[in-house]
Amino acid sequence: MAKIRSVVVEGGREQGYQRVQVLFGVNSFIEITETDGKVKCLLGSHAGGVEVDGSEAKGHFAQIVNELMERHPETIWKEE
């Protein structure tokens, strides 16, 4: 089933977002949370996933994205 199945947003623009979750495809998900000044991204599927800290511009999240782009150049997307 190739579609976006669910979108959950906790919080709002004025008071700040605490969690955004998107369930998509058969068993894939992405969840972004902000807790104690840290922004974490959880990306996965039914079998498991990865959690990376996206709090810093050149932090762990950026490192993981760069590694994915190097290993899978056919998937690169850049804003024009």
User: Which three-class secondary structure state does DSSP give residue 2?
Assistant: coil
List, in order, residues 6 or more apart from 48 with CB less than 8 Å away: none
Domain segments of the chain: what residues?
4-75
pTM of the predicted model as reported, rounded to 2 decimal places: 0.84
CA-CA distance, 46 to 40, in Å (whole number)?
Answer: 19
75 DSSP assignment:
G
**Does residue 62 contact residue 70 with C-beta atoms inside 8 Å?**
no
Q: 20-60, pLDDT tens digit by residue?
A: 999 999 999 999 999 999 999 999 998 899 999 999 999 99
